[in-house]
C-alpha cells in the first residue's frame, strides 16, 4: 500500500468512526427520549389503572386539620377499598387560582374544600356543580341551615364547620374575667400593657392582632354600625360606622398605646404565644395551636361598643365541600358518598373534639361536649353576633379597596373621613373593572 | 437514499426532542399569552372570551389605576437599577477580595458568602420582614444600639420599598460574586506580571486588565440579573406583604399578579405582561449592543 492510499484508507476510517460515533449518539438520544416517554406513559397508566376510583380533595387547612381528615379518609377507604382518596394542601390563594386554571382546562380535583367566599367566583366561572339535586333532603335537614351556601338560588357548598370567625382569645394567666365592652377592653388592656424591666420600652401589650388586614377590622366596623355592602352587592364603606371604627383602632395604638406599633399576623401570634400580649383577636383556627403551645386560654366574644350598643360582629363563613363541574358520572356517586361520610355525626364530633371548631350537624351542635365546652359556647355566641361572609365575587374588590386606605390611616397619611371616601370610590371602580 | 437526505434526517432526529420541549414550554404559552392579551378574558368571560383587539394595551397606558401604571413603572426601574448596582458592586468587590492569593480559607468564605443564594427566597423574605419589625426587629435594635432612631420600615411607603431592596441586595450579590470570581480566575496571570514589570498601579491593572477581561462574562450576567430583578415577584410580594402599605410598594410584575389573580382580569394581565416582555427585550438588545459583549476580547 503506497502512502497516498494509506492516507485515504486512514481518512476514510476516521470519517466512518466519526460518523458512527455521532450516529450512535443520535440513536442513543432517540432511544433515551422514547424510554422517558414510555416511562411517563406507563407511570400515568399505572396511576389510573390500579383498578381504584381516584378522588382528590384540595383544601387550605393547617396540619392538625389535615391529620383528622386523613384519619377519616383512611376509614372511608377501609369501608370502600375500591376508592382511593387523596387530600392535597394548597395555600388559600394558590388553591383558588390553581382550581380556576385546572377546572377551566377540564381538569382539577373532584372536591374543593374551603370557606364560602370561593363560591361566588367559582359559580360565575361555572366550575362548580349545583348540589341541590345531588344530596337528599333527609341529609341536608340534619345540618344547621348556615352550613348550606346558596348562590343565585342554588346550593353550591355543604359545610362541616361553621365559623372561620374571629374572637377575643385571652391568656388566663393574666386575665380572669375577659372584657365585655369597649371601655372594659381599654381598661384591661391598659392595665396589662407594661414595661416589666424598666428600660423604657413596653415588654407586654394588653392586646395584639393583625390590625393591618381589613378582615380583622370588620368587628370594629360592625360594632360602630358599619357594613361592607348592601343587598345589591354595592359597597357601603363611606359611613360613620367605618369612620368611627377606624378611629377606635387608631386610638388603641396611638392614644391608649395598648397594641404594638406594628403587628402583622405572625408578630401578633408570636407575642401572644410568648406571653408578651395578654389578649389576641384571632380565629377559631388558632385555638388548638395555642393550647398545644401550653397556654391556658379562654375564648370570649368580642366586646360591645357602648356608644352604639352593638356587639363587634365578625364575618362568619362556613367551610365545606364543593364539587368540580368536570367530574365524571362514575366518580360523582363516590364523591357524594364521601362527602356524606365526612359530614357524618361521628366524624364531625371527632373534628370538634380535636380542633375546637364549630360543627354543622345539629345533633353534634346540641351534644353534651359542645354545650358544656366553654370555648365552643363562647364561639357560638360570637357566631350569633356575626354576619355571614358575602359569597359574591365583589367581596374581593371591596377587600382590596379597603386595604390601602385603612393602612394609610394607620400610617397617619390619611384622615379616617378621607379614607372611607377613597375606599368607597376604589371599591366601585374595582367592581366595575371586574365585571366589564 | 442519498447522503444529503440521510444527513438531514439525522439532524432532524437530533433536533426534534429539544424542539418539541421548546414548542411545549416556550412557544405555546407565549403565543397563548399574546392571544389572551388581545381578548376580553376575565371573571365574566372566562370560557366565552373573544378577541377585542388592543383594548387591554390601551387600558394599561390610559386607565386611571390605583396605583398608577407610570408610577409603578418608575418604581420598577428604580428597583432594578439600585438592586443591580449593589449586586454588581458588592459581587465584584467580594470576588476581587476572594481572588487574592494571600487569603486563607477561601473555600469557607466562598461557601458563607454564597449562602444567601442557597436559602429559599420565601424563607429569606419572611425572615427579613420579621427583622424589619419596628419594635422587635433586629435591624431597629441594632440601630438603637449605635444610637440611631428606629425606622418604621414596614409602615411607610419609602421605607418599605427600601426594606425590600435591602432584602433583594442581600439575596442577589452572591450570584454576581460567583460569576465574577469565575471570570477573574480565567484571566492569564502573565498579563498582571507584564503590567507589574511596566510598573502599573493596582488601580491601573484593575481598569486596564481586570475590568475589560471580566466584561464579556459580567455583561450577560448583568442582563440576566436585570431580567430576574425586573421580574422578581417573590421578594417584593413577601417583604411588603402584597404591596403594603397602601399598595405603595408594587413593581410591574406584582401589579400583573394582582390584576390577573386577585381581580380575575386575565386579558389585562396578559397585555401588561407582554408590555413587560417588550421592555426587557428592548433593554437586552440595546444593552448587549452598546456593551459590545459579543466582540472578542483576546
- Whether residues A435 and B43 touch (CB distance < 8 A) is answered with yes
pLDDT above 90: percentage of residues in chain B = 78
Distances (CA, A) of A84 to A69, A158, A282: 14, 22, 36
- Whether residues A434 and B264 touch (CB distance < 8 A) is answered with yes
On whether residue B236 sits in a domain, the answer given is yes
pLDDT tier at A46 (50, 70, 90 boundaries)? very low
Q: Chain B residues with CB inside 8 Å of A430's CB?
A: 263
Q: Which of B130, B245, B261 sits opposite A407 (nearest CB)?
A: B245
Contacts 24+ apart (CB under 8 A), B2-10: B10/A22, B10/A23, B10/A26
Choose from B63, B135, B237, B254 for mutation: most chain A CBs within 10 A: B135
Quote the minimal CA–CA distance from B78 to chain A in Å.
Answer: 22
**B261 contact A CB<8A:** yes
- Whether residues B246 and A413 touch (CB distance < 8 A) is answered with yes
pLDDT at B95: 95
On whether residue B62 sits in a domain, the answer given is no
Cβ proximity of A400 and B262 under 8 Å: yes
What is the residue-averaged pLDDT of chain A?
90
Q: How many domains does chain B have?
A: 1
Tell which residue, A24, A238, A216, has the closest CA to residue A227.
A238
Q: Chain B residues with CB inside 8 Å of A267's CB?
A: 130, 133, 136
Instruction: Output the furthest CA–CA distance in chain A (Å, rounded).
Output: 115
B73: domain CATH number? 1.10.3720.10
Q: Which of B13, B247, B258 sits opposite A26 (nearest CB)?
A: B13
Q: Note the Cα A348 to chain centre separation in Å.
A: 19
Q: How far apart are alpha carbons A169 and A299 in whole angstroms?
A: 5
Q: Which residue has the cell 361536649?
A: A369
Class level of CATH domain A53-163+317-388: alpha beta
- Whether residues B135 and A429 touch (CB distance < 8 A) is answered with no
Q: Which of B134, B248, B263 sits opposite A434 (nearest CB)?
A: B263
**B295 contact A CB<8A:** no
On whether residue B285 sits in a domain, the answer given is yes
On whether residue B17 sits in a domain, the answer given is no
- Whether residues A267 and B130 touch (CB distance < 8 A) is answered with yes
Cβ proximity of B194 and B270 under 8 Å: no
pLDDT at A198: 87
**B182 contact A CB<8A:** no
Choose from B55, B56, B58, B246 for mutation: most chain A CBs within 10 A: B246
**A20 contact B CB<8A:** no
The 3-state DSSP class for residue B39 equals strand
- Whether residues B17 and A405 touch (CB distance < 8 A) is answered with no
SS3 sequence of chain A: CCHHHHHHHHHHHHHHHHHHHHHHHHHHHHHHHHHHHHHHHHHHHHHHCCCCEEEEEEECCCHHHHHHHHHHHHHHHHHCCCEEEEEEECCHHHHHHHHHHHHHCCCCCCEEEEEHHHHHHHHHCCCECCCCCCCCHHHHCCECHHHEEEECCEEEEEEEEECCCEEEEEECCCCCCCCCEHHHHHHHHHHHCECCCCCCCCCEEEEECCCCCHHHCHHHHHHCCCCCECCCCCECCCCHHHHHHHHHHHHHHHCCCCCCCCCCHHHHHHHHHCCCEEEEEEEHHHHHHHHHCCCCEEEECCCEECCCCEECCCEECCEEEEEECCCCHHHHHHHHHHHHHHCCHHHHHHHHHHHCCEECEHHHHCCHHHHHCHHHHHHHHHHHHCEECCCCCHHHHHHHHHHHHHHHHHHCCCCHHHHHHHHHHHHHHHHHHHHC
Cβ proximity of A267 and A208 under 8 Å: yes
**A105 contact B CB<8A:** no
Quote the minimal CA–CA distance from A20 to chain B in Å.
Answer: 12
The C-alpha cell of A206 is what? 394588653
On whether residue B92 sits in a domain, the answer given is yes
Residue in B with minimal Cα distance to A32: B17
- Whether residues B246 and A264 touch (CB distance < 8 A) is answered with no
- Whether residues B246 and A404 touch (CB distance < 8 A) is answered with yes
The C-alpha cell of B148 is what? 440611631
Q: Which residue has the cell 351556601?
A: A149
Residue A125's CB: how many other CB atoms inside 10 A?
Answer: 20
**A261 contact B CB<8A:** yes
Choose from A261, A274, A326 for mutation: most chain B CBs within 10 A: A261
- Whether residues B155 and A411 touch (CB distance < 8 A) is answered with yes
pLDDT at B175: 94
Q: Chain A residues with CB inside 8 Å of B6's CB?
A: none
Residue A44 has pLDDT above 90, yes or no: no
Q: Which of A403, A410, A434 sits opposite B43 (nearest CB)?
A: A434
Region A413-425: mean pLDDT is 95
The C-alpha cell of A134 is what? 345531588
Range of the domain at B185: 67-290
Residue in B with minimal Cα distance to A37: B17
pLDDT at A13: 54
pTM summary value: 0.83
Quote the minimal CA–CA distance from A294 to chain B in Å.
Answer: 23
On whether residue B121 sits in a domain, the answer given is yes
**B24 contact A CB<8A:** no
Q: Which of B134, B135, B262 sits opposite A400 (nearest CB)?
A: B262
Q: Chain A residues with CB inside 8 Å of B66's CB?
A: 404, 426, 429
CATH 3.40.190.10 fits A166-313+393-435, yes or no: yes
- The interface predicted TM-score (ipTM) is 0.79
pLDDT digits (tens, 9 = 90+) for A135-193: 999 999 999 999 999 999 999 999 999 988 999 999 999 999 999 999 999 999 999 99
CA atoms within 13 Å, Cβ hemisphere of A389: 29
- Whether residues A33 and B17 touch (CB distance < 8 A) is answered with yes
The C-alpha cell of A393 is what? 365575587
Angle at A67 between CA A62 and CA A69, to 5 degrees: 95
Q: How far apart are alpha carbons B180 and A38 in whole angstroms?
A: 43
pLDDT digits (tens, 9 = 90+) for B231-258: 999 999 999 988 888 888 999 999 999 8
Residue B111's CB: how many other CB atoms inside 10 A?
Answer: 11
pLDDT at B290: 86
The tens place of each residue's pLDDT in chain B, 298 residues long, gives 678 899 999 999 999 999 999 999 999 999 999 999 999 999 999 989 999 999 999 999 998 877 789 999 999 999 999 999 999 999 999 999 999 888 888 889 989 999 888 889 999 999 999 999 998 899 999 999 999 999 999 988 999 999 999 999 999 999 999 999 999 999 999 999 999 999 999 999 999 999 999 999 999 999 999 999 999 999 999 999 888 888 889 999 999 998 888 889 999 999 999 999 999 999 999 988 888 766 655 5
Q: Which residue has the cell 436559602?
A: B119
Q: Is A171 left (phi over 0), alpha (psi -120 to 50) or beta?
A: beta
Q: Chain A residues with CB inside 8 Å of B156's CB?
A: 411
Q: Which residues contact A7 (CB under 8 A, 6 or more apart)?
A: none
On whether residue B45 sits in a domain, the answer given is no
List b or e across A206-236, with b for residues whose CB sees 16 or more CB atoms inside 10 angstroms: bbbbbbbbbbbbbbbbbbbbbbbbeeebebe
- Whether residues B17 and A266 touch (CB distance < 8 A) is answered with no
**A121 contact B CB<8A:** yes
- Whether residues B44 and A436 touch (CB distance < 8 A) is answered with yes
- Whether residues B247 and A403 touch (CB distance < 8 A) is answered with yes
Quote the minimal CA–CA distance from A32 to chain B in Å.
Answer: 10
CA atoms within 13 Å, Cβ hemisphere of A294: 2
Ranges of each domain in chain A: 53-163+317-388, 166-313+393-435
Domains A53-163+317-388 and A166-313+393-435 share a fold: yes
**A-contacting residues in B 32-61 (Cβ below 8 Å):** 40, 42-44, 46-47
pLDDT tier at A45 (50, 70, 90 boundaries)? very low
Residue in B with minimal Cα distance to A267: B130
- Whether residues B46 and A125 touch (CB distance < 8 A) is answered with yes
Distances (CA, A) of A262 to A88, A112, A144: 34, 35, 39
On whether residue B154 sits in a domain, the answer given is yes
Q: How far apart are alpha carbons A315 and A165 in whole angstroms?
A: 6
**A266 contact B CB<8A:** yes
Cβ proximity of A190 and A165 under 8 Å: no
**B-contacting residues in A 35-94 (Cβ below 8 Å):** 93
**B28 contact A CB<8A:** no
pLDDT tier at A1 (50, 70, 90 boundaries)? very low
Rg over CA atoms, chain B: 24
Q: Which of B241, B258, B261 sits opposite A264 (nearest CB)?
A: B241
Amino acid at each position: 500500500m503506497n502512502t497516498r492510499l494509506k492516507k485515504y484508507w486512514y481518512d476514510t476510517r476516521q470519517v466512518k468512526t466519526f460518523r458512527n460515533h455521532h450516529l450512535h449518539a443520535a440513536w442513543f438520544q432517540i432511544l433515551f427520549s422514547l424510554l422517558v416517554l414510555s416511562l411517563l406513559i406507563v407511570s400515568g397508566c399505572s396511576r389510573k389503572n390500579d383498578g381504584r376510583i381516584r378522588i382528590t380533595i384540595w383544601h387550605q387547612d393547617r396540619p392538625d386539620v389535615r391529620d383528622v381528615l386523613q384519619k377519616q379518609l383512611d376509614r372511608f377507604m377501609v369501608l370502600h377499598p375500591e376508592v382511593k382518596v387523596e387530600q392535597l394542601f394548597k395555600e388559600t390563594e394558590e388553591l383558588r387560582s390553581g382550581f380556576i386554571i385546572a377546572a377551566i382546562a377540564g381538569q382539577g380535583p373532584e372536591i374543593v374544600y374551603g370557606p364560602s367566599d370561593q363560591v361566588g367566583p367559582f359559580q360565575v366561572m361555572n366550575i362548580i356543580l349545583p348540589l341541590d339535586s345531588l344530596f337528599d333532603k333527609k341529609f341536608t335537614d340534619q345540618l344547621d341551615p348556615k352550613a348550606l351556601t346558596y348562590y343565585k338560588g342554588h346550593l353550591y357548598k355543604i359545610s362541616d364547620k361553621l365559623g372561620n370567625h374571629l374572637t377575643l382569645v385571652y391568656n388566663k394567666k393574666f386575665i380572669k374575667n375577659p372584657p365585655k365592652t369597649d371601655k372594659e377592653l381599654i381598661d384591661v388592656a391598659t392595665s396589662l400593657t407594661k414595661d416589666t424591666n424598666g428600660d423604657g420600652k413596653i415588654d407586654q401589650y394588653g392586646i395584639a392582632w393583625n390590625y393591618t388586614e381589613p378582615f380583622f377590622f370588620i368587628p370594629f366596623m360592625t360594632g360602630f354600625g358599619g357594613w361592607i355592602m348592601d343587598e345589591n352587592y354595592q359597597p357601603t364603606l363611606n359611613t360613620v360606622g367605618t369612620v368611627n371604627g377606624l378611629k377606635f383602632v387608631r386610638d388603641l395604638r396611638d392614644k391608649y398605646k395598648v397594641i404594638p406599633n406594628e403587628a402583622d399576623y405572625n408578630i401578633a401570634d408570636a407575642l401572644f404565644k410568648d406571653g408578651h400580649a395578654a389578649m389576641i383577636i384571632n380565629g377559631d383556627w388558632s385555638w388548638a395551636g395555642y393550647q398545644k403551645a401550653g397556654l391556658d386560654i379562654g375564648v370570649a366574644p368580642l366586646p360591645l361598643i357602648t356608644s352604639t350598643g352593638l356587639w363587634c360582629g365578625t364575618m362568619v363563613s362556613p367551610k365545606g365541600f364543593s364539587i368540580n363541574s368536570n367530574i365524571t358520572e362514575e366518580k360523582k356517586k363516590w364523591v357524594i358518598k364521601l362527602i356524606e361520610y365526612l359530614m357524618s355525626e361521628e366524624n364531625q364530633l371527632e373534628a370538634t373534639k380535636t380542633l375546637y371548631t364549630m360543627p354543622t350537624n345539629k345533633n353534634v351542635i346540641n351534644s353534651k361536649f359542645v354545650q358544656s365546652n366553654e370555648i365552643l359556647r363562647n364561639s357560638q355566641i360570637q357566631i350569633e353576633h356575626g354576619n355571614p361572609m358575602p359569597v359574591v365575587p365583589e367581596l374581593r374588590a371591596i377587600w382590596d379597596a379597603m386595604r390601602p386606605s385603612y393602612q394609610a390611616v394607620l400610617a397617619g397619611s390619611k384622615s379616617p373621613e378621607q379614607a372611607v371616601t377613597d375606599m368607597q370610590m376604589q371599591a366601585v371602580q374595582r367592581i366595575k373593572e371586574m365585571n366589564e | 437514499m442519498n447522503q444529503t437526505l440521510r444527513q438531514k434526517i439525522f439532524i432532524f432526529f437530533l433536533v426534534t426532542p429539544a424542539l418539541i420541549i421548546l414548542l411545549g414550554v416556550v412557544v405555546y404559552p407565549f403565543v397563548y399569552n399574546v392571544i389572551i392579551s388581545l381578548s376580553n378574558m376575565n371573571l365574566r368571560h372566562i370560557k366565552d372570551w373573544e378577541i377585542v383587539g388592543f383594548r387591554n394595551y390601551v387600558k394599561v397606558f390610559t386607565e386611571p389605576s390605583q396605583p398608577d401604571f407610570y408610577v409603578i413603572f418608575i418604581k420598577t426601574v428604580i428597583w432594578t437599577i439600585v438592586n443591580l448596582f449593589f449586586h454588581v458592586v458588592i459581587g465584584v468587590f467580594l470576588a476581587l477580595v476572594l481572588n487574592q492569593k494571600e487569603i486563607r480559607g477561601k473555600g469557607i468564605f466562598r461557601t458563607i458568602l454564597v449562602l444567601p443564594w442557597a436559602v429559599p427566597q420565601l424563607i429569606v423574605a419572611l425572615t427579613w420582614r420579621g427583622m424589619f419589625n419596628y419594635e422587635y426587629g433586629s435591624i431597629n435594635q441594632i440601630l438603637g444600639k449605635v444610637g440611631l432612631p428606629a425606622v418604621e420600615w414596614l409602615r411607610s411607603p419609602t421605607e418599605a420599598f427600601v426594606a425590600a431592596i435591602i432584602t433583594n441586595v442581600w439575596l442577589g450579590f452572591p450570584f454576581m460574586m460567583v460569576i465574577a470570581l469565575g471570570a477573574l480566575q480565567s484571566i492569564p496571570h502573565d498579563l498582571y506580571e507584564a503590567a507589574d514589570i511596566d510598573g502599573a498601579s493596582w488601580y491601573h491593572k484593575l481598569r486596564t486588565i481586570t475590568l475589560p477581561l471580566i466584561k464579556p462574562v459580567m455583561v450577560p450576567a448583568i442582563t440576566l440579573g436585570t431580567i430576574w430583578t425586573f421580574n422578581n415577584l417573590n421578594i417584593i410580594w413577601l417583604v411588603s406583604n402584597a404591596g403594603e402599605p397602601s399598595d405603595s410598594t408594587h413593581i410591574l410584575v406584582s401589579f400583573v399578579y394582582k390584576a390577573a389573580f386577585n381581580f380575575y382580569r386575565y386579558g389585562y394581565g396578559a397585555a401588561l405582561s407582554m408590555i413587560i416582555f417588550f421592555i426587557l427585550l428592548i433593554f437586552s438588545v440595546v444593552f448587549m449592543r452598546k456593551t459590545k459583549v459579543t466582540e472578542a476580547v483576546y
